[in-house]
A and B are shown apart, each in its own frame.
Chain A
């Protein structure tokens, strides 16, 4: 059981890629972005209710920006335009939860309507690495503010596919999270994501690909709600087999044995005399030339 003063911060990063969700609305009309956010709100509320000192943050990861759905900037600075609306909640729910839910709903509507006209054809990938970086900075600043022992974790709800361009930034974020002992859990809706599998393996979190999207709330509450201390006591989905093979820079194939340039650490599948990334000429090991010994001529008798 966590001690009374321990603060636990959960950051939920939700993938709201409009293109994927738009296609999803055509494929399965019963599971749309609003249903997904309902499930996320249930998860967030449950986390806040578990212990009085728990904290929550929700980030929406769009293809053009990452936006904090909760907590809201205006709220923090005390401008308080939401104060009038938040005085009573109609159904007797704990006020913190109803205020949080209203804010999240408001912010996501603003986000989606704001960017409706600006999505261009080539920018279809979710900016997940950027959202994770912002989540890490948010965790760090909360840690500085409270000054107490804090356990934090990040839960990623991923919808669209991976973007290979983000590999290096993603790895930087994963190593930073590992250094700060922050777990990254992943709940994947559609297609398996190699990057998230590596993230969960390296930081010690859980990776789960959901078989039925409609039951998202159940999976979130069952698998991802308990924190790391309690997870050892529960029977949770087994770890997946992570493919740590590197992809060669020339063909993007996964290789088991490869050649690594000692200058720039790029990986190649075949030996080549020049590195294509840093253009260094390599020293090719030549076969050793054996010097033939000169035979001494016997003096002819």
Chain B
């Protein structure tokens, strides 16, 4: 706290003590250390593949955000609440990108009560709008773990057995105010197979440790904002399914997208079922859309659960998005550049190999540079050379 008067502006505080990790080499140049740091940052994401483990692909996740008094603390810039909301927005987008047939709901807790910000839904827009509006809300009082968990449980216990029920709590306070014995609630959660994970913003709290250990979730406390982001991203990937989750055949509909224009004879404008309840005042009438194959109700976006007949409507690319979790790409082997005299160009981007190490695919032995390797594992999920060998997935 002595350094505070020395800092001219608040935001400069984020850069304190970064000089400690830089070391000079013999000639006094920092270049080697800086390159090393950049290289490590690129490779930081460790791809731990679960191997042949069944994954919970259809997920129902509740995110509980603590909006108590401690969230006004400014150790995350500009304050904990704004930083958390921004990261949760990013998390929601990534979550729907990786798990297109899953659902998310948001709960906030303050003043010893818990309330639902958004219901469980499969459409990211609603959640992101609600999170943006929540930035203006005030923080106060104490959070209540019991109330937020029981609120989440009320909806999750009705979810079908084949889906994975999860709760992710972002907990910043060190106290909680509960109306009843929380350890009883933990037993109920365990019986209902709800997995609770906690990300702590302040310090480790014993009740959270017990909660996560009993229900099979994970508990981490953040170091700084980038660590917070990493911990959130850890929850984007589908978790291994518990042994007690049921496997069933889910009935789904694959509606056709009709693009009708005014010049068509039969085209009639109609309302979308999803917009009937909305108060956002968007254009209600539209010409084309997706029609449920069972009851012909119209929707403008997929995936959605039909309000009339209850059939889940998805499109084939949504299911295809999740396939890379089921057939994960192996990590490439890292080897120093000096061993590879013959190849001077990366197989994928045709650029020269300049970094100090190159990556080799174990099945086709092609050589890739660092950026291509990161891109292949993060976004592409298939080796560009292996797919030239025409083997069916």
Quick check: is A261 within 8 A (CB to CB) of the other chain? yes
Q: Mark interface residues in B74-108 (1 if CB within 8 Å of A CB, else 0).
A: 00000000000000000000000100000000000
CB <8 Å contact, B256 and A244: yes
CB <8 Å contact, B320 and A137: no
- Bound-state CA distance A124–B212 (Å) is 54
Complex contacts, A123 vs chain B, CB 8 Å = 390
- Bound-state CA distance A272–B89 (Å) is 40
CB <8 Å contact, B319 and A265: yes
Quick check: is A234 within 8 A (CB to CB) of the other chain? no
Quick check: is B38 within 8 A (CB to CB) of the other chain? no
CB <8 Å contact, B57 and A140: no
Quick check: is B29 within 8 A (CB to CB) of the other chain? no
CB <8 Å contact, A244 and B317: yes
Q: B351 to chain A: closest CB distance in Å?
A: 5
Quick check: is B381 within 8 A (CB to CB) of the other chain? yes
Give the interface size class of chain B. Answer: 35 or more
CB <8 Å contact, B384 and A134: yes
Out of B247, B250, B369, B384, which one reaches A280, CB within 8 Å?
Answer: B247
Out of A77, A125, A241, A256, which one reaches B293, CB within 8 Å?
Answer: A256
Out of A77, A125, A255, which one reaches B344, CB within 8 Å?
Answer: A77
CB <8 Å contact, B254 and A246: yes
CB <8 Å contact, B316 and A246: yes
Q: Mark interface residues in A63-78 (1 if CB within 8 Å of B CB, else 0).
A: 0111010010100110
CB <8 Å contact, B294 and A262: no
CB <8 Å contact, A259 and B252: yes
- Bound-state CA distance A257–B36 (Å) is 53
Quick check: is A48 within 8 A (CB to CB) of the other chain? no
Complex contacts, A261 vs chain B, CB 8 Å = 247, 249-250
CB <8 Å contact, A140 and B319: no
Complex contacts, A141 vs chain B, CB 8 Å = 346, 349-351, 369, 371-372
Which partner residue on chain A sits nearest B247 by CB separation?
A280
Out of B163, B252, B382, which one reaches A169, CB within 8 Å?
Answer: B382
Identify the stretch in B114-122, B142-150, B322-330 within 8 Å (CB) of chain A at 4 or more residues.
Answer: B322-330
Complex contacts, B249 vs chain A, CB 8 Å = 259-262, 268, 271-272, 275, 282
Out of A73, A127, A272, which one reaches B350, CB within 8 Å?
Answer: A73
- Bound-state CA distance A24–B241 (Å) is 52
Which partner residue on chain A sits nearest B57 by CB separation?
A265
Quick check: is A129 within 8 A (CB to CB) of the other chain? yes
CB <8 Å contact, A171 and B250: no
Quick check: is B183 within 8 A (CB to CB) of the other chain? no
Complex contacts, A175 vs chain B, CB 8 Å = 317, 320-321, 379
Quick check: is B259 within 8 A (CB to CB) of the other chain? yes
Out of A127, A172, A258, A282, which one reaches B380, CB within 8 Å?
Answer: A172
CB <8 Å contact, B380 and A171: no
Q: Mark interface residues in A99-116 (1 if CB within 8 Å of B CB, else 0).
A: 000000000000000000
Which partner residue on chain A sits nearest B371 by CB separation?
A144
Complex contacts, B319 vs chain A, CB 8 Å = 246, 260, 265, 267
Quick check: is B375 within 8 A (CB to CB) of the other chain? yes
Q: Check A66/B346 contact, CB under 8 A, given A140-B372, A176-B379, A262-B162.
A: no
- Bound-state CA distance A166–B256 (Å) is 23
Quick check: is B335 within 8 A (CB to CB) of the other chain? no
Quick check: is B140 within 8 A (CB to CB) of the other chain? no
Complex contacts, B382 vs chain A, CB 8 Å = 133, 168-169, 172-173
Complex contacts, A267 vs chain B, CB 8 Å = 316, 319
Complex contacts, A244 vs chain B, CB 8 Å = 254-257, 315-317
**Interface set, chain B 294-328, CB cutoff 8 A to A:** 294, 311, 315-317, 319-324, 326-327
Complex contacts, A127 vs chain B, CB 8 Å = 387-388, 390
Q: Mark interface residues in B319-355 (1 if CB within 8 Å of A CB, else 0).
A: 1111110110000000000000000111111111000
**Interface set, chain A 221-239, CB cutoff 8 A to B:** 238-239
- Bound-state CA distance A68–B316 (Å) is 32
Complex contacts, A4 vs chain B, CB 8 Å = none
Complex contacts, B293 vs chain A, CB 8 Å = 256-257
- Bound-state CA distance A247–B317 (Å) is 11
- Bound-state CA distance A243–B392 (Å) is 22
Quick check: is B253 within 8 A (CB to CB) of the other chain? yes
Q: A158 to chain B: closest CB distance in Å?
A: 17
Quick check: is B365 within 8 A (CB to CB) of the other chain? no
Residues of A within 8 A of B (CB): 64-66, 68, 71, 73, 76-77, 123, 125, 127, 129-130, 133-134, 136-138, 140-142, 144-145, 163, 165-169, 171-176, 179-180, 198, 202, 238-239, 241-247, 255-265, 267-268, 271-272, 275, 280-283, 285
The 4 A-B pairs at the shortest CB distance, nearest first, are namely A137-B348, A141-B349, A133-B384, A246-B316
Other contacts beyond A176-B380, A281-B247, A283-B246: 10, CB < 8 A? A130-B384, A134-B349, A134-B384, A175-B379, A241-B258, A258-B251, A262-B57, A262-B248, A264-B326, A272-B249
The 20 listed contacts between A and B (C-beta, < 8 Å) are A71-B350, A130-B387, A133-B380, A134-B347, A134-B384, A137-B349, A137-B376, A137-B380, A140-B372, A141-B351, A172-B382, A176-B375, A243-B256, A244-B254, A246-B319, A256-B254, A257-B293, A257-B311, A261-B247, A262-B248
Residues of B within 8 A of A (CB): 54, 57-58, 97, 161-163, 241, 246-259, 261, 293-294, 311, 315-317, 319-324, 326-327, 344-352, 369, 371-372, 375-376, 379-382, 384-385, 387-388, 390-393
